Amino acid sequence: MKKSIKYIAAVALCLSFTQCKKDFLNVSSPSSVDDSFVTATPSETFKTLSWCYANYRQNCVMGGYRWNDPVGSDGEYYPESGSTNNLNAILRSDLLPVSTAEGAFNALYATIAQAAKIADVIATKPAYLADVAANKTTDWTHLYGEALTIRAFCYFQLIKHFGDVPYGYENTVVTDYSLSSRFTIYDNLIESLKKAEPLMYRLGQGNINAERMSRTFCDALIGELALNSGGYQTIRTDVAGLYGNLTFTKKGNEANKCVYARRADYLPYYQTAKTYFQAAIDNKGSSGLITTDSRSTSNNPFQRHFQYFADLTVSPESVFELGNIQGGTLTTTSEYPYAFGRPSDGGSTLAAPTKTFGALRIVPTVYFGEYLNADKRRDASVAVTGSNGDGNEKMLTFVPGSKTAGGVSTNKWDENRMNPPYVAAQRNSGINWPILRMADVILMLAEVKAELGENDAIALVNQIRERAFGNAKYDFGALTGQALKDAVLQERKLELIGEGTRRWDLIRSGTFSERAIAVQQEMAAVVAGLNANGFYHFANGNDFSKYIWTKKVALTNPLTFDCAAADTVANPAAYPAWRGQYNYITLSTVSSKVVGTTHNIAIQGMFKYIDPAGPVAAALVLQGYVKTNWGVDLVTGYADYQRNILSGITTANDPPRYYWPIPFSTISQSKGKISNGYGLPQQ
CB atoms within 10 A of CB 41: 12
User: DSSP labels for 57-87?
Assistant: IIIITTTHHHHTGGGSSSSEE--SSS-STTT
Backbone angles phi and psi of 173, in degrees to 5: -90, 115
Q: What is the pLDDT of residues 574-633, one digit of tens each?
A: 999 999 999 999 999 999 999 999 999 999 999 999 999 999 999 999 999 999 999 999
Binning pLDDT at 50, 70 and 90, where does residue 666 land? very high
Number of structural domains the chain divides into: 1
Residue 634's Cβ-side half-sphere holds a number of Cα atoms within 13 Å equal to: 29
Contact of 361 with 408, CB cutoff 8 Å: yes
Name residue 609's amino acid: Y
| Strand intervals (E) in 175-247 | 233-236
Q: What is the pLDDT of residues 377-415, one digit of tens each?
A: 999 999 999 999 999 999 999 999 999 999 999 999 999
Query: What's the pLDDT at 456?
Result: 96
Contact of 634 with 527, CB cutoff 8 Å: yes
Binning pLDDT at 50, 70 and 90, where does residue 31 land? very low
**136 lies in some domain:** yes
Name residue 642's amino acid: Q
Q: What is the Cα–Cα distance from 597 to 594, expressed in whole angstroms?
A: 9
User: DSSP labels for 492-514?
Assistant: HHHHHTTSS-HHHHHHHHT-HHH
Q: Is the pLDDT reported for residue 10 higher than 50? A: no
**Nearest CA-CA partner of 206 in 139, 286, 253:** 139
Q: What is the pLDDT of residues 290-340, one digit of tens each?
A: 999 999 999 999 999 999 999 999 999 999 999 999 988 888 889 999 999
Q: What is the pLDDT of residues 142-177, one digit of tens each?
A: 999 999 999 999 999 999 999 999 999 998 887 889
Q: What is the Cα–Cα distance from 494 to 465, expressed in whole angstroms?
A: 10
**653 lies in some domain:** no
Q: What is the Cα–Cα distance from 224 to 230, expressed in whole angstroms?
A: 10
Query: What's the pLDDT at 66?
Result: 67
Binning pLDDT at 50, 70 and 90, where does residue 61 land? confident
Mean pLDDT of 55-70: 80
Backbone angles phi and psi of 646, in degrees to 5: 55, 40
Q: What is the Cα–Cα distance from 434 to 495, expressed in whole angstroms?
A: 14
DSSP H or E run through 185: helix 182-196
- Kindly state the DSSP code that residue 135 receives in the 8-state scheme: T
Distances (CA, A) of 138 to 220, 289, 611: 21, 27, 68
Q: What is the Cα–Cα distance from 179 to 415, expressed in whole angstroms?
A: 43
Binning pLDDT at 50, 70 and 90, where does residue 2 land? low
Distances (CA, A) of 38 to 4, 42, 55, 123: 20, 9, 18, 14
Model pTM? 0.95
Backbone angles phi and psi of 546, in degrees to 5: -65, -35
**171 lies in some domain:** yes
Domain that holds residue 36: 1-63+101-177
Q: What is the Cα–Cα distance from 573 to 580, expressed in whole angstroms?
A: 8
**39 lies in some domain:** yes
**416 lies in some domain:** no
* CA 555 from centroid of its chain's CA atoms: 33
DSSP H or E run through 248: strand 248-255
3-state helix, strand, coil split of the chain in percent (to 5) is 45, 10, 45
User: What percentage of the chain carries pLDDT values higher than 90?
Assistant: 89
User: DSSP labels for 352-391?
Assistant: BS--B----EE-HHIIIIIS-TT-THHHHHEESEEE-SBS
Query: What's the pLDDT at 175?
Result: 80
**203 lies in some domain:** no
**43 lies in some domain:** yes
- Kindly state the DSSP code that residue 668 receives in the 8-state scheme: H
**377 lies in some domain:** no
Q: What is the pLDDT of residues 170-212, one digit of tens each?
A: 988 878 899 999 999 999 999 999 999 999 999 999 999 999 9
Name residue 41's amino acid: T
Max CA distance (Å), the chain: 83
> Residues with Cβ < 8 Å from 102, sequence gap 6 or more?
663, 664, 665
Query: What's the pLDDT at 331?
Result: 86
Mean pLDDT of 126-135: 97
Binning pLDDT at 50, 70 and 90, where does residue 679 land? very high
Q: What is the Cα–Cα distance from 370 to 477, expressed in whole angstroms?
A: 19
Q: What is the pLDDT of residues 424-474, one digit of tens each?
A: 999 999 999 999 999 999 999 999 999 999 999 999 999 999 999 999 999
Contact of 5 with 43, CB cutoff 8 Å: no
- Kindly state the DSSP code that residue 311 receives in the 8-state scheme: T
Contact of 459 with 344, CB cutoff 8 Å: no
